[in-house]
Amino acid sequence: MTLPNASKYWGAESWIMKWDWGETFMLEFIYLMMNEWMDGLWPIVVSIHLLALIFAFAGKYLRISHLVVFLTTVWLYHRLTLYIIGGNLLVIALLFYLIFANERKSDQFSTKLNSLILLAIKVQVCFVYFFSGLWKLAGDQWLKGEAMHYILNIPEYSHPFVIEYIANSKIVTVPATFIALAYQLLFPFLIWFRIFKKPLLIVGVLFHLIIGLAMGIWDFALIMIASYTAFMFGD
């Protein structure tokens, strides 16, 4: 989704301002693409990123390809640092765990290590839901059932059709508010029980597809759906 406007994000004439983040070596490394000398190099970084993705999907040189995908993702996202959203941050976290995985090896050590990485990914997804729910409990609108009404009435997070026909219908928005809140709070606890897993994942896929379609926050929606694959393996 960023590639057609890539030069506006990462090019020499980027619409997004650069500033100095380099207080430490680590920060300089993470914000590498904030440097002037990187302006002309974004096509190379993007190409390396895509190439590493191809290798990763093909199962070739997994450790290195996972590491390269992680690093290039961090560099590209952190050039757009004010615009990083939850979906982008979740990608970074999941890619970080994947650096240590190598599903092609089947010796006992690798199998146990891969199981640990899978567990870390599951815990990370549970963190997302748990804290999304917890933060909402600190406010009034979610507990009063009014939150969805306000969110869906804002064009940025809605769709003209939704604003016209759904956003002001309390029969829809009040239950939707409580369902979303309950789902986020219950998911981290119920997903570990086999009996709840399938229904939770199905509801979750629908929930995130609606977020993608109605709100247009596709990055987050697709990443969350992709992360569900972790719960389909390694019982």
Residues 128-147 that bind another protein (CB under 8 A): 128-129, 131-132, 134-142, 144, 146-147
DSSP, collapsed to helix, strand or coil, labels residue 208 as helix
**151 is an interface residue for another protein by CB under 8 A:** yes
**8 is an interface residue for another protein by CB under 8 A:** yes
Residues 41, 199: Cα–Cα separation, whole Å: 46
User: Of the candidates 57, 82, 193, 194, which one interacts with another protein according to CB under 8 A?
Assistant: 82
Are 62 and 56 within 8 A, CB to CB? yes
Site string for another protein, 31-50 (x = CB under 8 A): --------------------
Closest CB to another protein among residues 51, 217: 217
> Least distance in Å: CB of 111 to another protein?
10
> Least distance in Å: CB of 213 to another protein?
6
Q: What are phi and psi of 171, to 5 degrees?
A: -60, -30
> Least distance in Å: CB of 195 to another protein?
26
**113 is an interface residue for another protein by CB under 8 A:** yes
User: Of the candidates 63, 159, 197, 234, which one interacts with another protein according to CB under 8 A?
Assistant: 159
**162 is an interface residue for another protein by CB under 8 A:** no
Closest CB to another protein among residues 2, 60: 2
**171 is an interface residue for another protein by CB under 8 A:** no
User: Of the candidates 23, 25, 37, 156, which one interacts with another protein according to CB under 8 A?
Assistant: 156
Stretch that binds another protein, among 57-65, 111-119, 198-206, 224-232 (CB under 8 A): 111-119
**102 is an interface residue for another protein by CB under 8 A:** no
Residues 167, 66: Cα–Cα separation, whole Å: 42
Return the ∠ at Cα 168 (arms to 165 and 171), rounded to 5°: 95
Residue entry with tokens 């059709």: 161
Exposure b/e, 89-124, CB count within 10 A at least 16 = b: ebbbbbbbbbbebbeeeeeeeeeeebeebbebbbeb
Closest CB to another protein among residues 31, 231: 31
Stretch that binds another protein, among 43-51, 121-129, 193-201, 225-233 (CB under 8 A): 121-129
> Least distance in Å: CB of 62 to another protein?
17
Q: What are phi and psi of 84, to 5 degrees?
A: -70, 130
Find all residues with CB under 8 Å of 218, minimum gap 6, and list them: 1, 212
DSSP H helices, the chain, are 6-10, 25-30, 42-58, 62-79, 86-98, 108-137, 147-152, 160-165, 170-190, 194-210, 218-227
**217 is an interface residue for another protein by CB under 8 A:** yes
